[in-house]
Structure 1
């Protein structure tokens, strides 16, 4: 589908379980790609869905497949509500990431629920989805996928960092796009805020009341993942295996765990960027003022936070672009980023 202008819906659900992000976007190509986000919103998960999604790694494949069917129906309902609410017609494609259930690229496994062919039938639209599976089959990490969008839409920055469930980074090095997951962020911090009865630590106010436990900080910073050369990516399984056991065995207060973990994040992010660079920060973690303060304290660089629309919906925006690139038969997955055998155009296309 080669055109100069595309009208799409980008859909993203991240590991932090904030909800389903939807954005109605127009992309236009005239030598370079430009975009406009017309409407956007996040649909929060019900407690039931939040509970299911937080335990996906613990279910066997038979249960996961049933959840996948249910989630595909649920996701279709959410998309249809969005289409109706904003009276959207003439949509070229719905470009959906789905929700990651399993991510073990070292075992050639990645599984995103909500990407069944039925989604196109239920929404009555062409759907592009399941961007990770092909990359893993090509010996890639299947992640991160956003860097192609960083290159095409946000090239004026030295680095693009997203602070979501995980922090991930993207940059150009010798005309190659390099990207990888840095460390966990909200997937850890939200858990300890939840233990105190909060959805998240607003502005880092709880963390501010804690103190840094140097021993725990050292254990976190010494985890093997941080010495691995990219490409590399993280999943909930890694956090369950290596991070939560350290934090929970410490028996420290939630405030001290949060304070220590924020310092850990700040150190790892500072290690990933160069002095005096220009860095774009997006994702829910950018609303944690204390976290940004601690990152800035580690190194001299220019920290840029864009409009709320881009902060919150950059991933939905870029998955929209990945879908457009797939429809055009163009590369949307970079081997320098994921470690795949070669650049490729990833994703499945379903017709109603």
Structure 2
């Protein structure tokens, strides 16, 4: 039985439709992340699951039971808000136990629950402090502790790390990952940060304009995007989109890439990646999608055994990041980003021989922006 099912949910605010026929299902213990740009409807969907926003049509089921018209208190969910929503006049201990007290849980059980989550989140030394005496990361742990003190059917996290600085976000992300692995709880998590989505999720729903464009594992949405938007949204740096002409025929398709002032490049399309749709696009302009890591430095020691198609572009910008180096190069009618190792010594204005791994490339229709192959 699915822990959460959303069936054909729509939500209107006046004449504006914010959620458009949204459907998904996750199993017990899964970590689902709703990701997308601001205004795509992910927080509205979260509020609909929580019961904070009534849906216009459709059904929401939790653990097999329809909760579409139930109040938040009746749904057996726990929510962690972006703003933490802690009671400023209460101590950490009181904040964590308050929800249990409202549910008339016996005092001994409340105290045991507080001690359990305090130990789990390593906030035992903060129990007698008030929120104003805590750092942002400590407040976030308390907000999580308040949710974890209960054992609901589903936990909802609404952009819980967006108010934290960059380093603290990484630390808290790791803590949330460990927490989920330890407890095996069902979590629905909203974020606009695609790195957060890739590192935390079992399943990612990529949203745009109130619709779910793709629902799948992090590997699926990253390596097999359904369209141009998903491909460009997931990944940092984002995927390179290169204008090309599809030539040839079955078993010998090639992508011709013309770069002003450079030699025309013909990239062979892998035969095992062919689809029937390609036959209709021969002679037409398409979009080639290459991730920065699909480029690698050519190694002379490998000789004829080196994988990929070689090219020697002029490098326009060199961006060291520590762990690797990002190179900007002219390719097609725009620029592309390549990710190479930290020992690369190329300078801006110089040429560097790179190889493109076409076995991992993707191709999109120029007009519809849908995946072709």
TM-score, scaled to structure 2: 0.24
Which has more radius of gyration? 2
Higher relative contact order (CA 8 A, sep 6+): 1
More helix by proportion, 1 or 2? 1
TM-score, scaled to structure 1: 0.25
